[in-house]
Amino acid sequence: MFEGVYPALITPFKDNSERDLDLEGLSSNIEFLISRGVHGVVPCGSTGESATLTFEEHEVVISRTIEVVNGRVPVLAGTGSNNTSEALRFTKVAKDLGADGVLVLSPYYNKPNRSGLVKHYTKLADLDIPVIVYNVPGRTGQNLATDLIAELAKHPSIVGVKEASGDIVQMSRVIEDTADEDFSVISGDDAMSLPLLALGGSGVISVAANIMPEPMVAMYEKFKSGDLAGAKEIHYRMSPLFRSMFIETNPIPVKAASGILGMAAGPLRLPLDYMEDEKVSALKEVLSQYD
């Protein structure tokens, strides 16, 4: 259902004491991405600093994204929480606003048991909106086992998983175990995009595509058309950029890069903070390779 390159949108803030939302900047960034051929967008994910957004701000960002996109590409809204009631609230709002689906990270900090995870995702999926499970153990402290993903995939509204475990064997097993379901396995790591596509993955929810959507889209399209050599060339050309996006905690580098390239970005919200000058210099050096 969700295939191709989906930038995990940054959330631009104004450079004032309150770090207010920069909705005009958000709109401008979305228009730029759509003009460069992305297949969808993801507001209010980790890259969008969702953990620092109020409920009202979540609603505003998702609403503005849907308004600007205006049906041109799917909108997959981040609605996860470690509180099931809060995740239900976010997900209901996203559905009512017209999101095409929701991206739901596994509950962080709580480290729920298997039955809790099944009930958590089932309650959200029962709202009758397409759900992408988000497995990111580096942030949640808990890896979602392949057999659990396969069990969740049997729910008609749980249509995929964003895999950011970093374990290509695990990703392969999820594809194998869900082969009989209408289920997408999407990379949550730019560097894993092409390897996962080769195994039968559906695309990538991308950090790097915020600033360089065209090569990400081209890599995907070349692979889909059978031009593996062309896709590999782009993968290796983009690899320094992929690495640079994680010289600090995401989204610190991509927001810095967006500002350097003249896109709307603004400051981060605490507890995230600016990179040290030497890392900014290193990032600028990487970006200079793509002029």
Annotated binding site: 47, 205
Residue 189 CA to residue 69 CA, distance in Å, equals 24
Question: CA–CA separation, 184 vs 153, rounded Å?
Answer: 9
Residues in CB range of 225: below 8 A, 6 or more apart: none
Residue 134 falls in the annotated catalytic set: yes
Of 95, 162, 222, 255, the catalytic one is 162
Can you say which residues are annotated as belonging to the binding site for pyruvate?
A: 47, 205
d(CA 3, CA 11): 23
The one catalytic residue in 6, 95, 121, 134 is: 134
Active site residue 162: yes
4 bridge partner residues: 203
Judge contact between 5 and 204, C-beta under 8 A.
yes
- SS3 track for 249-291: CCCHHHHHHHHHCCCCCCCCCCCCCCCCHHHHHHHHHHHHCCC
278: which residues sit within 8 A by CB, 6+ positions away? none
Cβ atoms within 10 Å, residue 219 = 25
Catalytic residue IDs? 134, 162
